[in-house]
Amino acid sequence: MVEVCALASGSNGNCYYIGNENEAILVDAGISCKQILQRMTDRELDTAKLKAVFITHEHADHVRGARVLSKKLNLPIFYTYGTWNNTHKSSRSPYYQFIHIDQALSFGAFTIHAFAKNHDAGEPCSYRIEIENKNIGVMTDIGSVCNNVIEHLQKCDVVFLESNYDEKMLWEGPYPWHLKKRIASEVGHLSNMQALNLVSSYANGKLKTIFLSHLSGENNTPAIAIDTFRPLNQKYNIIETSRHEASVLYSF
């Protein structure tokens, strides 16, 4: 049995749990170590099963808790070289290892596939994780849909998919113009509609469950994101995530 959970998902912190009965990993550690451990406890997840953390890129909402967590639990933290090089020294884990784009990494029960994405960071990647013949994608911070995203999405049973902003809220909201342009750019984030179109256009019969992830606190709401995906309700299990608490624990 495979278990997945968004321990935190939003523009102020991201952390995704993937595990089985014996082992588990995290993708990103963008909230504090204390919060990560508490949210795992809230979902009755055993912290002793954690074996590693895989970082997508160096922005604070993805690395904030990595250093302390790795020191507390003696966990290796995997970075691409570009992400490591662009991570502030105060946030780097002493137990670092490198993962390479497009080279599958066998790690315990997991096979980790890191693939390049479009985002304004040093060497950003998304991940597809194989475990027990299942595939879980963590695909957030994607400025535009590329062939890599499409290829790996089509192999996923479950995906944590960015649904960052509602276009009306973004363009009519209080953000300065330069930030609005950055968010909507090809190295920014996916809107609700872009995420919907990605799934509608390219997902195949393998995909069953979508966690709507990395929602903006200022330019989106869970209700709007869920409503955008309403046309797919009969086809997929649509689950919302939160920045304030762990999502439901999904087992399959």
> 10: alpha, beta or left, given left = phi > 0 and alpha = psi -120 to 50?
left
DSSP character at residue 236: S
Q: For residue 251, is it within any domain?
A: no
Name 176's Cβ contacts closer than 8 Å, sequence gap at least 6.
none
pLDDT confidence of residue 220:
97
Q: For residue 248, is it within any domain?
A: no
pLDDT confidence of residue 71:
97
Q: For residue 93, is it within any domain?
A: yes
Condensed to tens digits (0 to 9), the pLDDT of residues 183-198 reads 999 999 999 999 999 9
Above 90 in pLDDT, residue 31?
A: yes
pLDDT band at 157 (very low <50, low <70, confident <90, very high): very high
Mean of pLDDT values over 37-59? 98
Mean of pLDDT values over 149-174? 98
pLDDT band at 171 (very low <50, low <70, confident <90, very high): very high
Parent domain of 89? 3-240
Contact in structure between 129 and 135 (CB atoms under 8 Å):
yes
Q: For residue 249, is it within any domain?
A: no
Structural element, H or E, at residue 177: helix 177-184
What the block records as the tokens of 247 is: 């999502």
190 to 137, 143, 224: CA distances (angstroms) = 15, 6, 14
Taking alpha carbons only, the member of 174, 180, 177, 163 closest to residue 224 is: 163
pLDDT band at 199 (very low <50, low <70, confident <90, very high): very high
Q: For residue 159, is it within any domain?
A: yes
Above 90 in pLDDT, residue 90?
A: no
Contact in structure between 219 and 168 (CB atoms under 8 Å):
no
Contact in structure between 61 and 11 (CB atoms under 8 Å):
yes
Percent of the chain, pLDDT > 90? 98
Q: For residue 136, is it within any domain?
A: yes
Q: Where would I find the beta strands (DSSP E) of 77-131?
A: 77-79, 96-98, 105-107, 110-116, 125-131
Q: For residue 222, is it within any domain?
A: yes
pLDDT confidence of residue 70:
97
Condensed to tens digits (0 to 9), the pLDDT of residues 114-138 reads 999 999 999 999 999 999 999 999 9
CA dist., res. 126 & res. 92, Å (int): 19
DSSP character at residue 115: E
**Helix, strand, or coil (residue 226):** helix
Percent of the chain, pLDDT > 70? 100
CATH number for the domain that contains residue 50 = 3.60.15.10
Tell me the backbone φ, ψ of residue 112, rounded to 5 degrees: -105, 125
Angle of helix 66-73 relative to helix 33-42, nearest 10 degrees, comes to 70
Q: For residue 179, is it within any domain?
A: yes
Report the number of distinct structural domains present in the chain: 1
